[in-house]
Amino acid sequence: MAIFEGAGVALITPMNEDLSVNYNKLEEIIEEQIAGGTDAIIACGTTGEASTLTVEEHLDAIKRTIEIVNKRIPVVAGTGSNSTETAVEFSKEAEKYGADGVLVVSPYYNKATQNGLIKHFTSIAEGIDIPVILYNIPGRTGVNIEPETIAYLVNNVENIVGVKEASGNFSNAIKTLRLCPQIDMYSGNDDQVVALMSIGAKGVISVLSNVAPRQTHEMCKAVLEGDIFKARKMQIEALDVINNLFAEVNPIPVKAAMNLQGKNVGPLRLPLTPMEKAHEEVLVKAMKEYGIL
């Protein structure tokens, strides 16, 4: 059984003005997500600024998230690293804290070969008993996890069960589903949720859910219930907001959007910088038209 079906939020990490992690605000936004119908919390991924968190902050944010959620919905911990040893240790700690699964990005910068990816992901999975979701995002990592590699891992490593597919390559997504139809695939792109779910994906790991949890949940629910016309309409209605949430590198726009909503999630850590005013003005317009501002 999948860790979750529907809309999982790729949760931001709120900061205080001094750039420390704001754990009080973390609890507040998690409660808002659960109240909004979100089907799972994904902690400390790209959207959670994991790359600029210290080791202690990263693990503490995962632990606190699991404690706050308290088994009400699944929590998937972002534990990826370009160091296999680090990813193994992070994953072991997440399991110890009670995570329902881990999301593991392909190694960035060192750009492993497909054989290296197999050894990397296998080492992580063999170090834990909870499910592993691979994260394929070549635009950030510089390497694509090929369908054959994903299929090998899913077919040969018991607890590698899924993939967050953010390559935007539908042909590869379809090939992956043909090679391992049992895989739990999640869209990693908010503008492609309905399209990927229509070919067999279980849902989305979503940036949009940070600002529109109910809408994202309902869109996924419509597909799961077979109402493709409703889902398609919702996907199209959300398009301008989604495009503006990626007008600059994630999570710059989504944090700006949440602050515009009055959620006061704080600043970004360098090298991320505040959203440019011209982009923010267009984002405001899109959010107003979508009804979330």
Per-residue pLDDT tens for 148-191? Answer: 999 999 999 999 999 999 999 999 999 999 999 999 999 999 99
CB 13 within 8 A of CB 48: yes
Tell whether omega for the bond before 147 is within 30 degrees of 0, i.e. cis. no
Distances (CA, A) of 4 to 22, 40, 162, 220, 239: 27, 7, 11, 12, 24
Asked if residues 74 and 184 have their Cβ atoms less than 8 Å apart, the reply is no
CB 124 within 8 Å of CB 91? yes
Q: Each residue of 49-102: pLDDT tens digit?
A: 999 999 999 999 999 999 999 999 999 999 999 999 999 999 999 999 999 999
Q: Which residues are catalytic?
A: 135, 164
Other C-beta atoms lying within 10 Å of the C-beta of residue 73: 19
Is 38 annotated to bind ligand?
no
Distance separating alpha carbons of residues 192 and 207, to the nearest angstrom:
12
**Domain range summary for the chain, segments of one domain joined by +:** 6-228
DSSP classification of residue 163:
E
pTM across the whole model:
0.96
pLDDT tens digit sequence for 33-43 = 999 999 999 99
Q: Does domain 6-228 have CATH number 3.20.20.70?
A: yes
Q: How many CB atoms lie within 10 A of CB 184?
A: 21
Token pair, residue 249, equals 């590198």
Contact 220, 197 (CB under 8 A): yes
Ligand-binding site membership of 133 (annotated): no
